[in-house]
Amino acid sequence: MTERSRVQGRAARALLGASAAWLAATAVPALAATDELTLYTTREPALIQPLISAFSAQSNIKVNTVFVKDGLLERVKAEGARSPADVLMTVDIGNLMDLVDGGVTQPVKSAALESAIPANLRGADGQWFSLSLRARVLYADKNLPLTSFRYEDLANPKYKGKVCIRAGQHPYNTALVASLIAHDGEAKAEQWLRGVKANLARKATGGDRDVARDILGGICDVGLANSYYVGQMKSAKEGTDARKWGDAIKVVRPTFANAKSGGTHVNISGAAVAKNAPQRANAVKLLEFLVSEPAQALYAQTNYEYPVRKGVALDPIIGQSIGELKVDPLPLTEIAKYRKQASALVDKVGFDQ
């Protein structure tokens, strides 16, 4: 069974339980869809289909999903006022802010969205909303005596030749560097990048799961990666490579050295209502559904992500391996404004060379 089919199967099982509970609670008649909306998404349809199916079952609104791997902003701009897009969904705060800055979104005022999503995880003017969270955490050799970690520690010379990480220009890492700029200033962020580069056990490349793979292989001891990959690896079939990688690591939630209230850096999946949405009311209904308790439970169960809504149970693997998340309270908009500086710094220090 492939990784994708395994995820799809898991999603289907979660959908049956969660959507059944939702339908029972809301007592919606099983009628044919009488309305519709169009969703443009950079997220693989298989990962969000359980949520879309549950929404359609609850609302009788058909969702036309259009997967746009690259060039979402350019496409919506080119379509202009004739664009059929009602909701725009991305898997990175930078890409979501590009849509806002590009003028293809519109503000939404919704008590349901504002009560479910903390203020630091949505646009102050209602232009965008977080739907789920993925923490940038430390993967470490399970035998290392580590119980706490600061992001800044990754540049400590004691980790020379012991660090693995994917490319610095990947959005997951430029978002982290932008956070470091916001917290510590550009000069210290550059110093950190140079320190991490000096500590690399191999070139900054590959994916997040490759960090766990290389820890198992003895290439490195620590590295940064996203939290949801832990669920994917540790839920894999016994004896598979992915399961071996997951079993080789432990996970620590890092914090920033000078952040008074602590908290771990997160990136998001998020969405906005398109500027020229033909079905604006339905678009808002979809966003409100996606932050409801049943939908947030689906995010946790199918994708191993952290719910953005408080009080929703984590997937057991994430709960046991990582635990409850304390999010860095710095507003994502404050972080996102340093994205270009972060990218320039990565190139300046030759991090990916």
| CATH fold for domain 3-133+266-313 | D-Maltodextrin-Binding Protein; domain 2 (3.40.190)
Provide the pLDDT for residue 260: 65
What does the DSSP assignment read for 271-335?
EEEETT-TTHHHHHHHHHHHTSHHHHHHHHHHH-PEESSTTPPPPHHHHHHT-S--B--S-HHHH
Provide the pLDDT for residue 78: 98
**For every one of its 353 residues, what pLDDT tens digit does the chain have, with 9 covering 90 and above?**
444 444 445 544 554 454 444 444 443 444 344 599 999 999 988 889 999 999 999 999 999 999 999 999 999 999 999 999 999 999 999 999 999 999 999 999 999 999 999 999 999 999 999 999 999 999 999 999 999 999 999 999 999 999 999 999 999 999 999 999 999 999 999 999 999 999 999 999 999 999 999 999 999 999 999 999 999 999 999 999 999 999 999 999 999 987 666 899 999 999 999 999 999 999 999 999 999 999 999 999 989 999 999 999 999 999 999 999 999 999 999 999 999 999 999 999 999 99
Contact 96, 333 (CB under 8 A): no
pTM for the model stands at 0.88
C-alpha 217/C-alpha 38 separation (Å) is 45
Which of 249, 244, 287, 269 has its CA nearest to residue 112? 287
C-alpha 326/C-alpha 262 separation (Å) is 8
Residue 159, annotated as binding a ligand: no
Contact 291, 108 (CB under 8 A): no
Look up residue 236 and give its two tokens.
């894999």
Look up residue 238 and give its two tokens.
């016994």
Provide the pLDDT for residue 5: 46
| φ/ψ of residue 275, rounded to 5 | -55, -40
* Residue 269, beta-bridge partner list: 132
Provide the pLDDT for residue 16: 44
Contact 177, 348 (CB under 8 A): no
Provide the pLDDT for residue 44: 87
User: 134-263+322-348: what CATH class?
Assistant: alpha beta
Residue 228, annotated as binding a ligand: yes
C-alpha 105/C-alpha 126 separation (Å) is 10
Torsion angle of C-alpha atoms 247, 249, 251, 254, degrees rounded to 10: -170
Range(s) for CATH 3.40.190.10 in the chain? 3-133+266-313, 134-263+322-348
Provide the pLDDT for residue 198: 98
Instruction: Using DSSP, state whether 171 is helix, strand or coil.
Output: helix
Look up residue 283 and give its two tokens.
């678009």
**Cβ neighbours around 291 below 10 Å, total:** 26
